[in-house]
Amino acid sequence: MTHLVQLNDAPLEFVDPELLTATSYGHFTSMQVRDGRVRGLDLHLERLDHSSRELFGHGVSADRVLGYLRTALARSASGDVSLRVTAFSRDRAFLAGTPVEPDLLITTTDPIEPTGEPPRLLAVEHERAAPHLKHTGTFSLTHEIRRARLAGYDNALFYDRRGRVSEASIWNICFATDDRIVWPAADVLPGITMLTLQAGLDAITVARETVDISLSAVSGYRAAYLTNSIDPALPVASITTPAGTTQYEPDSRSAALIATAYDAIPPQKI
């Protein structure tokens, strides 16, 4: 399938350079669609609405978004795709505080399969601007990925100025003990898959908690998992901190718990 681009409900055959500039201020959500369904679809819709209200003073309705997504799926002629919805505005009046209804840029690409190999993470001090927003300011994330790879690792794990683990570059992270799943309490993006897994853990009555996790504490867990729309539970091979490297062995028990929790929340039809 070719890369398809749609501005609101209209296909784009040519991307105006002015459009690229306008999308530098905005937010987005990405989803993996299988058989026309998305796990956590309601959370994606809530994210788009709430973030638009914060950035532009004007929300986007679920009906509007779903209409555009259905148009994009029809154009792709497939129920198995990757979708990204970017909210931005060509009306610069928002800079003065005037509420403006955001435009929605829909991109459709081939479905992305989960990451194959458990990554080796390099812990770096980094705090994202407005971490509660999935905003389009992703320069720092890409920069830290590149730095980690140049240093011989697969990706970056972030910790804040207080030395607390927060999130990875494009994932949330959780840790496993013998009887519970633990999430960092530092400021992070509330990822859709993270929220879905937490709801699933509650549904199957598996204990979970959110606590401060210091860099020195990562060695005390049985396993660590990265979560996003592509990787619901990607096992972490190792985490390297200034104090040394923690290696994680495969942990079938926690992996099965997370898989069951994920399956407990069914995907929703677009």
Q: How far apart are CA 41 and CA 152, in angstroms?
A: 36
Task: Please give the Cα distance from 201 to 221 (Å, whole number).
Answer: 18
pLDDT on residue 178 = 86
- d(C-alpha 230, C-alpha 240), whole Å: 24
Q: pTM here?
A: 0.93
Residue 177 CA to its chain's centroid (Å): 24
Yes or no: say if 62 and 49 are a contact pair by the CB < 8 Å rule: yes
pLDDT at 168: 97
Is the separation of the CB atoms in 27 and 60 below 8 Å?
A: no
Q: CA 106, CA 91: separation in Å to the nearest integer?
A: 18
Residue 2 is predicted with a pLDDT of 64
Sheet containing 165-168: give its strands across. 165-168, 155-159, 120-125, 238-241, 244-247
Question: What are the counts of helices (DSSP H) followed by strands (DSSP E) for the chain?
Answer: 6, 17
Tell which residue, 174, 221, 164, has the closest CA to residue 195. Answer: 174
Residues with pLDDT less than 70, the chain: 1-2
Supply the pLDDT for residue 107: 95
Domains, the chain: 4-109 (3.30.470.10), 120-265 (3.20.10.10)
